[in-house]
Structure 1
Amino acid sequence: MGLRRPLRHPVPPTPVPRAPATGWPPGPGGGVTRRQMLLGSLAAAGGVATIGALGGCSPATVAAGGARPLSYWHLLSGGDGVVMAGLVEEANASDNGYEATQTVLAWGAPYYTKLAMASVGGRAPDVAVMHASRVAGYAPGGLLDPWDLDLLADVGVQEGDFLERVWEKGTLDGNVYSIALDSHPFVLMYNTDVAEQAGALGDDGRLVPVEDPETFLEVARAMQGVTGGHGVSYGYLGDGAQMWRLFYTFFKQHGGEMDLSGDRVQVDTDAAVASLEYIQRMLDGTVCTPNGDYGTAVSEFVTGGSGMFLTGVWELPTVKAAGIAFDAQPIPTLFGTPAAYADSHALTLPHQNDPDPEQRRAAYQFVADLLQNSLPWAEAGHIPAFQPVVDSAEYAELTPQVNYAPAAEILNYDPEAWFTGSGSDFQAYFLETVQNVYLEGADPAEGFDAFVRRVDVQLAKPNPV
């Protein structure tokens, strides 16, 4: 397929707008639901104060040139925000009947709260980015509209264009509520110069095969002998997301399952404890520092203080900018089952009571244009979800992206519940209950049991949206 190249000078992200809150009319049928009452109370209490003029749904006016204005919300800032701005500008330049305006909101809970309020209050944008792991908490409450698969096909997007587990993540009760733009897994980056000096670089210039936990520790210690610092950079202190990413990768490699569909956690405790015990072995001061934070880990790796780096694909631009010789790959399968923690930025249709059909068609075309021309998103590190891009000759030229792309085939999202996913409190619960297992060598079984009890408390509560 023909892929558009990225713009050389993308426009900067749109500043976060600030405006007073607006009212929130009742949903379809005219009645006020418990969900609307709750969210309305949040707004009245000051929990959501900037919905009013966030570029949400309003009567569409077709411009003189025939382009329909589209409102597009996302939570991407920094380098990702600049790249996304370029994608939006490129999509608008396609002259496909729309003009999308992006609104950038603060990452995490503020974004998801505003998005929920906009859907309830009749001010929803035409398209919004969500983490795929958050869809299970939003779609059941009617905050998202399902995608029309026939209309998607009309604009050149269909299920067969995605890996099965990536497509399925956006599906709930037979409806598709999100279309993934990417997957961004936890991967292993490594310094090829350090690996060569440590005898861990194969004849193909790649890291030697590592297929069991002891070999990984041996390779890490050999690299530490070269760097004098650590074998592996891994920062987690005060960061539940980083703790969870590594734990969940190993847990799934053990074949572990965690089911949050009932009123109590159903989980493979043996796999969880074994994963935590291995992490404790890694945090020995030689393989990894026992008390490092994320920023320190990034700095250590890019300055040559370690041979390997456990991180997300989003750090690719940072490592490239450092100028070190490096490569990347999926995290080695140490415990039998290939697996990696991941999430996806996904495109959604926030609920609108009476969407205009032509406006919706324009939104579908905009989403198709983002997906079909997402090579710049790959250049920024993310693995495109739209497989024709991954299968293209242009993508094959991207290194190390092409070497870690197989991680998308073994990814694992958070267990589904209304309170899980990126930017939620779920990973904070893991931090609260398990950090001392990492930091002070506390008993893994006791720490994980405390986490399970904390999650059980949440499972006993109804989904507030």
Structure 2
Amino acid sequence: MKKLKQLSAVTVGSLLILAACQEPEQQGGAGEDSDSEGNNGGEEVEEDMPGDVGDADIVLDFWNGFTGPDGDDIARIISDFNEEYEGEIAIRTQTMPWDNFYDQYRTVVANNEAPDIAIMHLDSIAGYAQNDTLTPLDELAADIGLEEDDFIEEVWQAGEYEGSRYAIPLDVHPLALYYNIDLLEEAGYSEPPETYDELVEMSLAVQDSSDAYGIAMPVYWPSNMIFFSSLVSHGGETVSDDGMTALYNSPEGEEALQKMVDLVYEHEVSPSDVQADGEVTLFRQGNSAFHINGIWMITGFEEQDGLNFGSAPMPQFGDEEGVWAGSHNFVLPKQQEEDPERQEAAMEFIRYVSENSIDWARAGQVPAAYSVLEREEFQELEHQYNISQQTFVFPPTSPYYGDTWGPTGPAVDEAMLGQLSPEEALDRAAREGEANAEDAAAAHN
């Protein structure tokens, strides 16, 4: 089994069996919204086919939510594919904001108008597989030579639901720590913190040596992804295997959330009541030394004039390694009448992108394929490589994970605002989440 040093994922108890990613998780549900990758909201965008594809025997429609700069990166990969397969296979893309994507997806599958290929967040796959809107890929993947040993093991396994494969991973996008190199040097440090205590120590030192905050903790998204990471680091669990029972309202969960709250009210290294994206603005302006967010922030920070920043694994808030991670995955939408020739062409495109995903890594992702991870080109991508050196934990594979976990978003926010204690906030979230899951299960049955 091929493994990169430190590049792995863990299973926490029997619960974190890894799956998921409706792109970073939204406050009201399980998933990443368009802002998670710097994408813009707005109307659906129809894009021309990249490259010369007019005489292709097979033209495939590819849906995705890459409406930001990452859309340019995937377009370049598609253009290269269309050029290499000129006259044989061509890819036509249709892009829309993630918050519109899933409603549109359900509609077109129901109307037998589904695209040939789509990108889906990992924590959405189980629900769409349960509702029979995805095509099983076991035989198709085997026919084209895609197998477990080619990918980070846990993200590959996370694409399975009830014994069948429904997804092929494109990437992994975890949380990370960003730090202001100049502020740390001014405070007497040359390396970023690796633990919670070091984060507090360095934050206090920065505040003693400058007018900047140590860290600005978000009140809104991605606060519940930070809570997920702190929970895992404290040995806690998110939800049960079937997704119906909340497990985060536990002593471990309370301690994990209290650590976040303490950065504001006890250690006083973070401002309180940070407005939406306020923590991003403070870091961009050099007014905070540390910032916790996803790998998707790399490009935006690189483009910020005057920002001298570094990247590193998120500090351990507890005694165990583990950080929230999501993943974009290729899926084949369910077709009323399957066309083996089109399916084979679709899988050839997926294989091509997987093998050439170094360009996607440059856009701010960790490639899922070992063939790309082990390349010198990836290791030369300083930020992406640094962020890849941590233990990834994916949400559990369950159609009801998002229902049960979703209320942690506003619960974490209320605790961060000092409106509820961690125990009160998490208990309320658990009641709401389990009720949501029961309603969803009843609706499905």
With normalisation by structure 1, the TM-score equals 0.79
Q: 1:111 aligns with which of 85, 101, 110?
A: 101
Instruction: Tell me what 2:37 maps to.
Output: none
Deviates more, 1:317-326 or 1:288-297: 288-297
Instruction: Tell me what 1:273 maps to.
Output: 254
Structure 2 Cα separation of the partners of residues 282 and 17 of structure 1: 41
Deviation at 1:428, TM superposition (A): 5.4
Deviation at 1:439, TM superposition (A): 0.6
Instruction: Tell me what 2:60 maps to.
Output: 70
* 2:347 counterpart of 1:364: yes
Which structure has the greater CA radius of gyration?
Answer: 1
The one-character-per-residue Cα deviations of 1:228-278 (angstroms, maximum 9, x if unpaired) are: 121113323xx3x41211100000001111334264434460111001111
Q: Which amino acid aligns with 2:106?
A: A
Q: Which amino acid aligns with 1:114?
A: Q
Q: Determine helix, strand or coil for the equivalent of 1:304.
A: coil
Deviation at 1:315, TM superposition (A): 0.7
Q: 1:100 aligns with which of 75, 79, 91?
A: 91
- Aligned-residue sequence identity (percent) comes to 26
The one-character-per-residue Cα deviations of 1:382-422 (angstroms, maximum 9, x if unpaired) are: 11111211111111211121111123xx222234443545x
Paired residues in the alignment total 396
Instruction: Tell me what 1:418 maps to.
Output: 399
Instruction: Tell me what 1:169 maps to.
Output: 158
Q: 1:460 aligns with which of 425, 438, 443?
A: 438
Q: Which amino acid aligns with 2:434?
A: D
Q: Determine helix, strand or coil for the equivalent of 1:142.
A: coil
Contact 1:14-1:103 within 8 A present in 2 as well: no
Deviation at 1:114, TM superposition (A): 1.5
Deviation at 1:373, TM superposition (A): 1.1
Structure 2 Cα separation of the partners of residues 314 and 68 of structure 1: 33
Contact 1:227-1:304 within 8 A present in 2 as well: no
Deviation at 1:14, TM superposition (A): 12
Counterparts of residues 242-257 of structure 1 (less than 5 Å) = 242-257=222-237
Instruction: Tell me what 1:16 maps to.
Output: 44
Contact 2:178-2:309 within 8 A present in 1 as well: yes
Instruction: Tell me what 1:29 maps to.
Output: none
Instruction: Tell me what 1:315 maps to.
Output: 297
- Evaluate the alpha carbon distance shift between residue 244 and residue 462 of structure 1 in structure 2; reply closer, same or farther with a 3 A threshold: same
Structure 2 Cα separation of the partners of residues 99 and 168 of structure 1: 29
Contact 1:105-1:111 within 8 A present in 2 as well: yes
Q: Which amino acid aligns with 1:290?
A: S
Instruction: Tell me what 1:159 maps to.
Output: 148
Structure 1 Cα separation of the partners of residues 145 and 309 of structure 2: 37
- Runs of 4+ aligned structure 1 residues displaced above 3 Å come to 63-67, 153-156, 425-428, 431-434, 462-465
Instruction: Tell me what 2:282 maps to.
Output: 300
Contact 2:244-2:401 within 8 A present in 1 as well: no
Structure 2 Cα separation of the partners of residues 288 and 377 of structure 1: 34
Q: Which amino acid aligns with 2:108?
A: A
The one-character-per-residue Cα deviations of 1:115-161 (angstroms, maximum 9, x if unpaired) are: 12222221111110110011111111111111134x43454532111
Q: 1:142 aligns with which of 132, 135, 148?
A: 132
Q: Which amino acid aligns with 1:455?
A: G
Q: Which amino acid aligns with 1:244?
A: N
Contact 2:61-2:91 within 8 A present in 1 as well: yes
- Evaluate the alpha carbon distance shift between residue 146 and residue 355 of structure 1 in structure 2; reply closer, same or farther with a 3 A threshold: same
Instruction: Tell me what 1:178 maps to.
Output: 167
Structure 1 Cα separation of the partners of residues 437 and 200 of structure 2: 37
Contact 1:249-1:340 within 8 A present in 2 as well: yes
Instruction: Tell me what 1:448 maps to.
Output: 426
Q: 2:194 aligns with which of 210, 233, 239?
A: 210
Q: Determine helix, strand or coil for the equivalent of 2:382.
A: coil
Q: 1:125 aligns with which of 115, 127, 148?
A: 115
Contact 1:257-1:268 within 8 A present in 2 as well: no
Contact 1:186-1:342 within 8 A present in 2 as well: yes
Q: 2:203 aligns with which of 220, 237, 257?
A: 220
* 2:186 counterpart of 1:197: yes
Q: Determine helix, strand or coil for the equivalent of 1:129.
A: strand
Deviation at 1:88, TM superposition (A): 1.7
Counterparts of residues 14-93 of structure 1 (less than 5 Å) = 16=44, 65-93=55-83
Q: Determine helix, strand or coil for the equivalent of 1:456.
A: helix
Q: Determine helix, strand or coil for the equivalent of 2:303.
A: helix
Q: 1:439 aligns with which of 404, 411, 417?
A: 417
Higher relative contact order (CA 8 A, sep 6+): 2
The one-character-per-residue Cα deviations of 1:7-53 (angstroms, maximum 9, x if unpaired) are: xxxxxx997269xxxxxxxxxxxxxxxxxxxxxxxxxxxxxxxxxxx
Instruction: Tell me what 1:392 maps to.
Output: 375
Deviation at 1:332, TM superposition (A): 1.7
Structure 2 Cα separation of the partners of residues 427 and 258 of structure 1: 7
Q: Which amino acid aligns with 2:372?
A: V
